[in-house]
Amino acid sequence: LQTRLQAGQGYGNTLSCVLTVYRNESVAGFFKGMSFPLASIAVYSSVVFGVFSNTQRLLSQLRHGDPSHAPALADVALASMVAGFISVGIGTPVDLVKIRLQMQTQPHIKANTKLKPTVPGFPAYQGPIHCFRTVLQKEGIAGIYRGMGAMLLRDVPGYCLYFIPYTFFCGWSTSDGCISPNPSSIWLAGGVAGAISWAIATPMDVVKSRLQADGVYLNKYKGTLDCILQSYQNEGLKVFFRGITINTVRGFPVSSATFLGYELSLKAMKRDQTETNP
């Protein structure tokens, strides 16, 4: 739904999008492009949280001589930016394949560009592997990383507003004397952080989605700035907030589960290490 609202045509609002997708594509339409992100989410999350945690530890080591020292706000911000920057290398191809698969049956928009041989309204790709291979063959590495600039502008500040609120709310909800927050505090802090992050990141998420959807049948945009200008000129400022409701609502449970799984996994590993090396 998020991709259709941001890069598709003919959807007035979220409910209209739900009904249109169901009417035209049945329940299967809501799961298009799911397999590639599903297969890569474990690696992606491991890299993001691993980079964030290890950067924090390195900064604490450099500042205080103790990697376990509580990080300052500036350290959390810097670690978040590094995690966001690194995540783009993995996330851009995955998002591109997902969006191409989700948008390949959408009606094309009339533009001053030549149509590709594939007829709009019919699938251009047979699946995620075929999509990846086709884009790589026709557009090269640059095609696979189309929208990377917009994704950097989304994820670098987005992860700052992901990890910083989480750290703040965890600290605020943890009682004095407790070594670590309880699961309910982690769940709530993670959900709030996810909702905040996705709400702020939505404008650049719209631009990224449009850039990556571009190229299935048409090539409208020359780059990030051109996409921003064309979108604004054609649809006004409100276009950059398309899908913000879905992003925010989705961000809460997804981030709650992610942070809870992360923190519980760390506790389990630390406990195993303590039992192994008493």
**Same structural domain, 128 and 171:** no
Report whether 6 contacts 251 (CB < 8 A): no
Report the number of distinct structural domains present in the chain.
Answer: 2
| pLDDT, position 11 | 67
Instruction: Let me know how long the chain is.
Output: 278
From 145, 163, 194, give the residue that closes a domain. Answer: 145
228: tokens are: 């921003």
**Same structural domain, 163 and 272:** yes
| pLDDT, position 113 | 41
| pLDDT, position 195 | 96
14 within a domain of the structure (yes/no) = no
**Same structural domain, 123 and 160:** no
In the predicted model, residues of the chain with pLDDT beneath 70 are 1, 4, 7-14, 22, 28-29, 31, 33, 36, 105-123, 174-179, 216-218, 272-278
Angle at 222 between CA 197 and CA 145, to 5 degrees: 55
2 within a domain of the structure (yes/no) = no
Crossing angle of the two packed helices 73-103 and 183-213, in degrees rounded to 10: 50
From 89, 110, 145, give the residue that closes a domain. Answer: 145
159 within a domain of the structure (yes/no) = yes
Residues 139-148: tens digit of each pLDDT: 899 999 999 9
| pLDDT, position 87 | 93
Report whether 247 contacts 205 (CB < 8 A): yes
Residues 36-49: tens digit of each pLDDT: 677 778 888 999 99
| pLDDT, position 38 | 74
b/e map 210-229, b = 16+ CB within 10 Å: bbbbbbbbbebbeebeebbe
**Same structural domain, 100 and 117:** yes
61 within a domain of the structure (yes/no) = yes
Q: Provide the strand spans (E) within 39-192.
A: none
Tell me the residue range of the domain where 214 lies: 146-277
**Same structural domain, 273 and 150:** yes
**Same structural domain, 79 and 121:** yes
| pLDDT, position 52 | 95
- The per-type count for the chain, helices as H runs and strands as E runs, is 9, 0
204 within a domain of the structure (yes/no) = yes
204: tokens are: 């650049």
| pLDDT, position 100 | 87
**Same structural domain, 137 and 208:** no
Contacts of 120 (CB under 8 A, 6+ apart): 106, 107, 108, 217
